[in-house]
Amino acid sequence: MKKTSTRLADGRELIYYDLRDDHVRDAVDRRPLERTVTTSEIRRDPLLGDAIAVASHRQGRTYHPPADECPLCPSKGDRLSEIPDSSYDVVVFENRFPSLAGDSGRCEVVCFTSDHNASFADLSEEQARLVLEAWTDRTSELSHLPSVEQVFCFENRGEEIGVTLGHPHGQIYAYPFTTPRTALMLRSLAAHKEATGGENLFDAVLECELAGERVVLEGEHWAAFVPYAAHWPYEVHLYPKRRVPDLLGLDEAARTEFPQVYLELLRRFDRIFGEGEPLTPYISAWHQAPFGALEEFEGVNRDDFALHLELFTIRRTSGKLKFLAGSESGMSVFINDVPPERAAERLREVAS
């Protein structure tokens, strides 16, 4: 992998990740951009104890542009985009309309391929491995920023999810706090460790799932299963079999196998609802241990956390979506229309 860092016309950082070492990335951003001005602010909810980002400047972000005006495609002639070069393998850049910025963290865009009409599932194993290396590198770099406590790599796919740019891409959020969902995991981890005299909850969950009926696919170094208490109609958790706290902890064997397992998982997601159906909308989310202090989670350290990826869709059946209505949105109590055991069975049925 070759990494080349440069700057866009408004000062934002852009990084090329190339498969070949002989790529020269010296194209200049020719757009007349002014410096990006953001209004991101973190506010704490005094009753729930969680945090929200207020980012009013995002109202003006690019919204469903035509394909020939996509800002994530390479620049061609007079059609200038966020990527100054005429081609790329994988590229990462600071979001022009970030939810988090400055002391409130950082937001980045990850373009998986220059092919506008592709999807992550269409990538070669080599290209998917390069994306993994980019995620890992950005996790490392962002973790060293003084304002960052947690790094979250994710992909939203599909208009139903709220995606406003059709080009295959994901995002990275670097939060200045430990996110509420991770905090819940850490509290459960601490409570289980104390109650069992030191047993790791993630290890116990993985062992239990691998012995059960909800396994979707399993490799030598990775395992994917539908969790016992899945929140979403089709939800799969992907774990490395050797517990590590973050992407940086993966060894070479796990990195090599990951593209094989993950690409197969994504292709199965696109076959859940049968031939002729639109591509399945999904969210794919990496869960990594926070880099900040964990004193409030007594007895827990970073190495107790287990890196894993959660992949889920909001489509519950052909042509129907799972909406977060009263119970889910009002009380955070999910109601799942698809039994997890049946979801796992379906995901095994549609294997390549």
Neighbours of 314 (CB within 10 A): 20
The residues facing 106 across adjacent strands are 174
Between β-strands 51-54 and 320-321, what pairing exists: parallel, antiparallel or unpaired? unpaired
Amino acid 224 reads A
Report DSSP state, residue 273: T
Residues whose CB falls within 8 Å of the CB of residue 21, separated by 6 or more in sequence, listed in order: 2
Selected catalytic residue, list 169, 192, 237, 287: 169
User: 135: part of which helix (H) or strand (E)?
Assistant: helix 125-143
Decide: helix, strand or coil at residue 236.
Answer: strand
Buried b (16+ CB within 10 A) or exposed e, 181-193: ebbebbeebbebb
Active site residue 169: yes
Contact 302, 221 (CB under 8 A): no
How far, in Å, CA of 37 to CA of 66, rounded? 26
User: 213: part of which helix (H) or strand (E)?
Assistant: none
How far, in Å, CA of 128 to CA of 258, rounded? 9
The residues facing 111 across adjacent strands are 91, 169
How far, in Å, CA of 138 to CA of 141, rounded? 5
How far, in Å, CA of 170 to CA of 46, rounded? 32
User: 90: part of which helix (H) or strand (E)?
Assistant: strand 90-94
Decide: helix, strand or coil at residue 110.
Answer: strand
How far, in Å, CA of 166 to CA of 143, rounded? 29
Catalytic residue list: 169
